[in-house]
Structure formats: structure tokens, C-alpha cells
A and B are shown apart, each in its own frame.
Chain A
């Protein structure tokens, strides 16, 4: 039986236009008969929504751009954090559909967010996602999921989705299983979906350190209830708030470094959201430091998102409000501004429903970390400077509407939905790293936009989705490893130039309609096509490098299906265009191919893997180098060496080195190192170097610790071929010649085994033992050229108190490298 209050609510909802406010069910609720859902419905934890057999649920469209923080979608949604039981029968099924007509994507769908749902004999249609399960348990039996954009999505390894004896058909995509979700589709049919039936993708888990600050747990020096601060107020120490603190106009609240502000949870309306917080109408100066940050958090013992309301800043657009080196957590909205000027600098914003929300404001957000929120940033009609931030592990990253955005140097990674979503407005978007999200960057309805030198990588669906845009530049981006398309384009006029678009699972660029130019790009090794054209219009794509592939095979257009337009690909480039890596780091799993230019010292961060494809050339600018603290897999092959060289190719020490520091598991094979100070420099790394050539460097390779294996390689024309410092290494079956010093053993040479090498014609010594080395070096069974091997050795025989090179027995004939056999 439907509760009277619910009936009244639903009837009123039918009578009046939909608004953005929504319904949180306060107690167990039953739906039956005909139910019109015109607002978001949230079933919170501890509450059960039961739907009787034969119930028809019609969900109205949402025409508002607002989305309250506790909800998941801008479309009308039914979100389950408690329990949903929708048990229809064969004769009395339950139906979920949009209010009017057919067509997918009008309402959000049923979202299981940490809750459980049992759906039996249900039909679900007309939604963006029929059922989306995230961190929850879903059981669907004897049901039909049809005519949605996505039929079913299960995400995250804490999710279990069992679909039994059901039909998932005529959706755009049938079933998506992401990031380790457990799915069981026994007895179900998932077929006849327009784009794909089943798709699975799991982003590699990155153990990126998450910034956090800590604060004292001392007794409060001051406790507040509801209060208005009538004069400037300075907070120090621990402050406890059980009310709303209002700071009126012309008054300042100054929070000093090291202050801890805790909010007790007060929930008078039972919606689960705390109401205490700050309302700033004057000015907030919360100026922490790295050594003494400021903490805003819940006062509850078991802290959770929504324990307190927000730091609200309203109509404060004179001087700049400052929120610096603050950690804000457990709020409904950590920061919320209207008509204000605010800087957020060095902040940690985590475990809130929404991190930062604002409208009609001027905002700078710099050097901050936003993670574990339902949404990171949501803003409209504002100016936003967004630089050097980490936005990761949120449900949604950044969602902007009609904003003037300058975004530079940010990392937007591993957000469950989109990394960045922009609608309308002006965007200058440069040198950002967007990796491992479900959707990378989505931009619609914009007439100005510059997207330059970003990386869009390893996103589960599309890297960069553009729709209905004009006057756009897409320049010099690195777009690789995305699940569907690198770039998706619909109704866009743009210049797409100088990008490196490779190794996307389906298309490099998927086009429905495009007017503009695609030129000067590297389009290589995409799974299906470099360009896939779906619409009837022709596309201009001259002067691209197509990866050396047969153009007929990597372009899908009129030549494949007559209803489509033609990709005009004249004057294809025979060679890859040099691509300048835009970052000083490699902070995710990245694959390099073609011709990569490194302009400055660049680091592969811990946990990240840089894979370099055969035939790749990596060119280093003067003084630059690559430091690997994660892992590097540089595995060329016999027909395709990988070359590490300098841009100017003047001589040794043009560029610095390839440094491996605790980069265990790295592989270097079939590579060429030239013009470096040190080709390879290894510390504390288990490393194998094979089949490689080191030439014209100051030093070919140096290493400390190990274990290191160097084999089948050539060291020639260097000042020093190899150098060991406390190394543990096997150096075997190499050619070491034409250097000044073949091998230099600086210290602790007892860990080396040097055998079956050709060590000859080095101008000073084949092996030289350093003054600090007092251990003997095992260098048996090498070939030393003609003459006496001892003539090519500097050791304890020439200088007292340093170790000996044990060279006997030695080979009478040179060893032959496997390549030359």
C-alpha cells in the first residue's frame, strides 16, 4: 500500500513542473499501481523500497542543470543505498520506463550505490543506464533490459551483479563490466545490442600516494552553537561547532595554521545530511601551511560524508577568500560559493559528497588534492583557474557548465565516471593528464576551446569526446590506450593537429560528423581503425602518419560502406612526426611509439610502467634525461631497435642518462644508446640488458647493486664501456671494444662475474680496477684480443692494495654474438 505522504508527493509532482530538489525516502516505502517519478529518488542506507507486482514506474525527464551532491546523475534517477525489492511475476511484471515515448537516455536509470537490489520480472527501458551497480549487490531474474544507452553497468571489485534468465537487447551497449566487478550472467541472453553486447575493462590499480594532513585531537578551546560573529574573529587550537556560524559582511573569520575545526552532526529533518557549517558573507582567511595545516572535519566518532553541511561563502567578491593548506572532509559540500572570489591552494578535499561547488564566482584552485568524493568539482557561470591539482578516485571528477576555464598541469585519474565534463563556456585546457577514468574528457556545446598537449590515456571508454563544438583546436595531445575511441567527434568543426593517437582499442578517431582538418597526426596501432567514419560527410585528413599500415585497412569510410563519407587522406607521411612529450613525468602506464622528443628531465613515477615499442626513437634535448622510479619495458626486436639518442647528435653527453632507481622488472633489449652522459644508470634495480648497442656516450652503462645481467650487447666508442659500484652483475657474451676503458670497477668488485666477452682494442684498459676496490674481480674466460691480457688490465698487479682481475683461463678465439651466428 502506498503511504499517503508518498501519494501526495507523487500527485503534486505530476501537477507541477519538475524542479531539481529531490526525495530521500525517510522510511520503508511501497510502490504499487502507476507511479510517476518526477524527481530523483534516493533510498538511503537502512531503508527498503518495495515495488509490488504489476507496478508501472514512469520517470520524467529532467530539464534542470542542477544536481544535488548526494545524487549521481543530472538525469532523474532512482538511487539505492539501502535496499530495493522489485519482485514482479510473469503475469504481473514491473515496468520502468520514461514518461513519454520511446528512446534511450531520458532518465538516469536505477543506480545501486553501495546498496542491494533484487529485480525479478522487470522491464527497464529508456534510461541512460538501465541498472548501474557500484559497490553493491545486484540480482536480476527473468527480466528484460532494453532500449537504454547502456543496459547494465557493473563497476568496481566490491560489486556483485548476477543476471539470471534475462534478456539484455536493443541497447546501445548491453553489459559493461569495469574495474573488476563480479558478473554472472547464467542463463541470460545478451545480444542484439547496437554497438556492443559485452565489454569488459579493468584499469590497472595504481598505488599512488594520497596526500593527507593530520590534526590534533585535543579538547576544544571553544565551542559554538548557532552564532553570528559580529567582529573579526581569529581561531586557534581546536574548535567545536554544533550549529551554523555566520560571518556577516565586513567581518572576517581568520583561521590560523594548525587549527582544527570539528562539526557535530545535527540532522533535524532525517535526510541523513548534517546541517551544521559555516556561512561566510564577509571574508574567510583560512591560511594554513604545509607544516601546520588547518583541518575541517566531522566531530563524530565514526566520520562519514555528509556529517556536516559546508563552508558556504556567499556574495563575498571583494577581497579574495583564502582556503590554503586546509583539509576538508566528511561534509555534504566541502566548499560552496556563490558570487564570491576564492582561492583554494594546497588543500586536501576528501570523503565529502561534493568537494567544491560554485556558481558566478571567480575561483582559483591550485596544488590541491580532491579524492574519495562523490563529485570533485561542480561549477557554473564562473571563472576558474585550475592548476596542478590531483583529482582522483571520485565518482565524478570535474563537471563545468558555462564556465571560463583555464586548466593546466592537473592530474585527473581513476575517477569512476568522467574525469572532466565541460558544457558550453570557454576552455583553455593544457598539459593535463587524464588517465584511467571511465570517460576521459567530454566537451559539448562550446564555441571556443583550446585543448593542447594533454595526455588522455587508458580511459575505459573514450579518451576525448567532442560534441556540437565550433572553433576548437586539438593540438599536440597524447591519446592512447583508451577502451573505445581515442577521440569521438559528432557535429564538430575543429583543427586536430600534431597529436599522437595510438593503441586505442577501437578507433583512433571515431567520427559521426566533422568539418575541419585532421593533419600532422601520428595515427598508429589502433585496434580497429585509425579513423572510422560513420556519417555521410567527407573528412579532410591530409598529411598524417598512419603507422606504416595499409590505409585501406586502417580507414573505414565510403570504400567500406557506400553510405559513409570519404576520408581524404592525401600526402600521407612516410615517417612519424616527432612528438614532444609534454610532461615532466610519466604518471601512468604509457606506451611510446614513433618518434618521441624529451625536452626536460622526465620521471616515470613509482607504480607507473613506460613501455616503448620496437622501432621507437626517443630523442633527448640537451641536458634532459629519463628517470625511472616505476618500470620501463624497452623491448625492441631484431628488425626494430629502440634508439635513445640526442636531438642535436653532437657527441657524448648531449643528454643525461636513462636512470633506473629501484625499477625492478625493467627490461632493456634491442636498444641503441648514443650521445648520452650515461646510456643506462641503474641503482638497486633487478635489470636485464641484452642485445643492445652503447656507442658514443661518455659511459655506456653504470650500475650500483643489482642484480644486473648484461648480455649480447656491444659497447664501443665510449669513454667508459661499463662501470660497477658495489655491483652484483653477470656481464657475459658482450663485445667491449674501442672505448678508452672497457670496464671500470669502482668498488666492491667481488660481486661481478665477467665472462665470455670480447674485451679488446680499448685504448687504455680493458678492465680497470679503481683505487677504492679491494676485492678481486672474476673475469675468466674472456677473449682479450691479440697480446697478453694483463697488458689490458689495471689492477693490483700494478698498484698495491687494490683487487686483482682474475682473467685466467682466457679464450683463445673471440666469442660470437648470437646475432652474428
Chain B
């Protein structure tokens, strides 16, 4: 059987092919979904986040697409035609575009996303504000030790300047205890970094110290502690 192509059909086909090629090689396929979840640094879902989608790496302008706000489970979805995109997640309280307000959260460097036109694409985002990001980085470097911090106070409860906290393991008779903090300033603040465990904690105003004149209190350190005040020459006081 001979295949007959009518001129009109041929013209239509040519038009169809031409119009497809004018779309930069994209097929006339329906858009698929970019979907995923927005969470915070602790993995909790974030509501009202918007995914801003750009067709170039320049993300400091009005987006080319923007998703509806994420739901209570942090889920979002947006239909996109095939192509390559860069996406950031932002959480804002009022307008949908523009800079993030001072308490807003952001997913950082844009994520590269390719919509191939073959199916939905999953992509999750973690949003954080600047302080959360800063804390994350600091914590990552302290996997082996914990931080014990507080103030060194005198008998009247006033901060002591130019003192330092010290921690020693039981029975340690070395001239210099195992762990020392830096000299305190007028706030009396100190911070010690030490492995989890049992210690004798104290404070001194001279270095090396005369341990005979110091008093120590036994403490068990099992995680970060921020308000362990030390009263010089008296048992320490936990202000929590």
C-alpha cells in the first residue's frame, strides 16, 4: 500500500515540526513537576517557603517561576517545562519576591535542576538563617569535644577579669591542669573544650596556678553546658 501524504498534511507537519524546533529543541511535552520538601537545619518541615526558579545562574533578580508556598509538611510542587534551572528556597512573611528580611531563611547557593521532560523531579531544600548556619558550622568541628562555658565570679557574685577556668581529671598532679580556658575579660566569661567525662572544675587568677590554694568541684560533663558559673575559691555554682 502506498502511503499518500496530502499536501495539507505535509504543510501541517512541517509547521508542527518548525514550531517545535523554535522552542529550542524542547518537545511539546507537558510540563512535569518539581516537587520536594523544605526543612530547617533540624530536619523539621518548614511551612510557607517559596521556591524561586531561575533560568540562569543569575538569581539576584525577579524569578522566572515561583512555587506556591509549602504546606505544613514542608511539601511544595511546581510544574516546569523541560529545561535547566537554578532554584533557591526562601521563607518570607510578606511579599513573595525581593530580599529576605532580617529573620528570614534561605537555602544558600542555588541548586541546579534539570527537567528532562521525562517525569517529575524530586528536590529537597534546607533553609536557615544566618545564625543557624553559623552555629551549624561551629558544631561540626566539635564532634570530639564539648563546650563548657559560663562566668568566673568572686565571692560577691561579680565577674572576675583575668582569671581562667581549669579542669583536671581526678588525681592529676601535673603543674598545669589538663584543660585551661583563656583569660577572662570584664564579663568573666570563660569557655573550656574537653571530652565528655568526669572532671574537677575550678578557676585561678595566676598562671601557673598554685593548686594548693584552689578549690575544685567534681562535675560530670556529658554535653555542651553554657551556664556553669565558677565562684573562685568556693565550690562552683550552677546558675541553671
Contacts and interface: CB of A to CB of B under 8 A. Distances in A.
Given A285-B176, A491-B58, A318 B144 contact: yes
Nearest to B107: A447
Nearest to B101: A495
A494 B102 CA distance: 10
B106 A470 contact: yes
B109 interface: yes
B88 interface: yes
Q: Which one of A346, A404, A468 has the highest number of Cβ atoms from chain B below 10 Å of its Cβ?
A: A404
A428 B134 contact: yes
B100 interface: yes
Contacts of B58: 491
B60 interface: yes
Contacts of B61: 493, 513, 515, 537
A447 B109 contact: yes
A343 interface: yes
Contacts of B137: 383, 404, 426
A147 interface: no
Interface stretch (A199-207, A319-327, A571-579): A319-327
A417 B98 CA distance: 33
Contact of B133 (A256, A404, A470, A514): A404
B99 interface: yes
B108 A447 contact: yes
A319 B176 CA distance: 14
Interface in B167-193: 174-176, 178-183, 185, 191-193
B54 to A, nearest CB: 11
B13 interface: no
B98 A517 contact: yes
A254 interface: yes
A404 B106 contact: no
Size band of the interface chain B makes with A: 35 or more
Interface in B122-158: 129-131, 133-134, 137-138, 141-142, 144-145
A517 B99 contact: yes
B150 to A, nearest CB: 15
A537 B98 CA distance: 14
A790 interface: no
Interface in A500-542: 513-517, 537
B99 A471 contact: yes
Nearest to A449: B130
A252 interface: yes
Interface residues of A, number: 53
B208 A343 contact: no
Contacts of A234: 175-176, 208
A591 interface: no
Given A289-B207, A448-B106, A471-B106, A345 B182 contact: yes
B68 interface: no
Which of A361, A406, A470, A517 gathers most chain B CB within 10 Å?
A470
A383 B140 CA distance: 10
A615 interface: no
A256 B181 CA distance: 15
Contacts of A495: 99, 101-102
Residue of B144, B162, B175, B180 ringed by the most chain A CB atoms within 10 A: B180
B193 A341 contact: yes
B195 interface: yes
B62 A287 contact: no
A406 B130 CA distance: 11
A469 B88 CA distance: 13
B111 to A, nearest CB: 12
A125 interface: no
Nearest to B164: A287
A256 B208 contact: yes
A317 interface: yes
B138 A426 contact: no
Nearest to A424: B109
A513 B58 CA distance: 11
Contacts of B50: none
Contacts of B234: none
Among A318, A513, A516, the most chain B Cβ lie within 10 Å of the Cβ of A318
A285 B134 contact: no
Contacts of B99: 471-472, 493-495, 515-517
Given A289-B162, A404-B134, A448-B106, A322 B60 contact: no
B176 A491 contact: no
A341 B175 CA distance: 22
A491 B60 contact: yes
A249 interface: no
B34 interface: no
Interface in B78-119: 88, 90, 98-102, 104, 106, 108-109
A475 B145 CA distance: 36
A257 interface: yes
A391 to B, nearest CB: 19
Contact of B141 (A232, A341, A517): A341
Interface in A385-430: 404, 406, 426, 428
A737 B193 CA distance: 66
Nearest to B62: A515
A256 B207 contact: yes
Contacts of B215: none
Contacts of A468: 60
B144 A317 contact: yes
B67 interface: no
Given A447-B108, A448-B133, A319 B101 contact: no
B60 A513 contact: yes
A470 B174 contact: no
A258 to B, nearest CB: 11
B49 interface: no
A78 interface: no
A319 B207 contact: no
Interface string B40-64: 0000000000000000001111100
A73 interface: no
B232 interface: no
B59 A254 contact: no
Interface of A: 232, 234, 252, 254, 256-257, 285, 287, 289-290, 317-320, 322, 324-325, 341, 343, 345-346, 361-362, 364, 366-367, 383, 404, 406, 426, 428, 447-450, 468-473, 475, 491-495, 513-517, 537
- List of 6 A-B pairs having minimum Cβ-Cβ separation, nearest first: A404-B137, A493-B60, A516-B99, A471-B106, A448-B130, A447-B108
Interface of B: 58-62, 88, 90, 98-102, 104, 106, 108-109, 129-131, 133-134, 137-138, 141-142, 144-145, 162, 164, 174-176, 178-183, 185, 191-195, 207-208
9 contacts: A289-B183, A362-B141, A366-B182, A448-B133, A471-B99, A471-B100, A471-B106, A475-B102, A517-B98
